[in-house]
Amino acid sequence: MQAVIVFYLLLFIAGTFFGSFLNLVSDRLIRGDKLVFSRSKCNFCKKTLSARNLVPIISFIFQGGKCSFCRKRLSFYYPFSEVLTGLFFVFAGYLSNFLEISSSFNFLIFLYYAILFCFFVVMFLTDLKFCLIPDSIVIPAIIFVFISNIIVRAYDLFSLHQSLSMDEFGTYLIRAGYWNNQLLYSAKDLGYIVFSSLLISLFFLFLVWITKGKGMGLGDVKLGFLIGLVNGFPLNIVAIFLGFIIGAIYSLVLMALGRKSIKDTVAFGPFLVIASLITLAYGSNLLNWYISLF
């Protein structure tokens, strides 16, 4: 039990350091600044921040949420992004099952989720802060997920072929077309995923058209395609449906509190990200529960 706590605590701490950088990336992407090789500065006094000003969460707390130079109040997005990324890293560790099965393959699964979630954090923050999901972050994320999907499928098929080739019965199955059938099945499955992701994007594009861009933007269209690839068919449908439910509940709460009206827009990207994460862990259970209702 102690090993589990230490493992996830270390993942959380590592995530907070990445989160500090990702918050910076989200701002620099919108401003068009260099993402690297540029020192962090206070947004108000422009003083260069030292290492002691950049310790995730702790620096914010000990500085009282203010710049140590000009004493202007810092954005709450600093600790928020750090905690968010820390939690995402913990979730990546949970999904990869790396603690229970410490293999190189599970580490690669964790690495995949960690990189994917870093993309998610940046999109989460840019949409939340600026109501924008830049192509410069969502397009690389789509390419990363698509290539990763192909690599995993190729590895599985190669491993299957190697395993079958080790005995006479397996060799017979290869000659009988079993491996070719598995190759065809994998190709069809990837086709279903891409096609369903395109349908999700077209649906979002339709919503952009009927709301004239007020209810949803083109960034959401591309994010919808990404969510489709990440969760796969049919769980990508579950993720999108869940995203709408979470977004609707959040909007209703804000309207009940008088903080938003029905005419106000709410960033939809964060809800899609949250829904995608929930679906990665519990999507099959949610889908089976829904089907059991009929």
What is the DSSP secondary structure assignment for residue 73, as one 8-state letter?
A: B
Instruction: Read off the pTM.
Output: 0.92
HSE at residue 211, side-chain half, CA atoms within 13 A, is 15
Residue that has been written with the tokens 């008088």 in this structure: 258
**Per-residue pLDDT in tens (0 to 9) along the chain, 294 residues:** 777 888 899 999 999 999 999 999 998 888 877 776 667 776 777 777 777 777 888 888 888 888 777 888 878 898 999 999 999 999 999 999 877 766 778 889 999 999 999 999 999 999 999 999 999 999 999 999 999 999 999 999 999 899 988 888 889 888 899 889 999 999 999 999 999 999 999 999 999 999 887 778 899 999 999 999 999 999 999 999 999 999 999 989 988 888 877 777 788 999 999 999 999 999 999 999 989 988
**What is the tens place of the pLDDT at every residue in 11-33?**
999 999 999 999 999 988 888 77
**What is the tens place of the pLDDT at every residue in 40-54?**
776 777 777 777 777
What string of DSSP letters covers 74-139? PPTHHHHHHHHHHHHHHHHHHHHTTTTS--HHHHHHHHHHHHHHHHHHHHHHHHHHHS---HHHHH
Q: Which two tokens stand for residue 270?
A: 């964060």
CB neighbourhood size of 200 (10 A) = 23
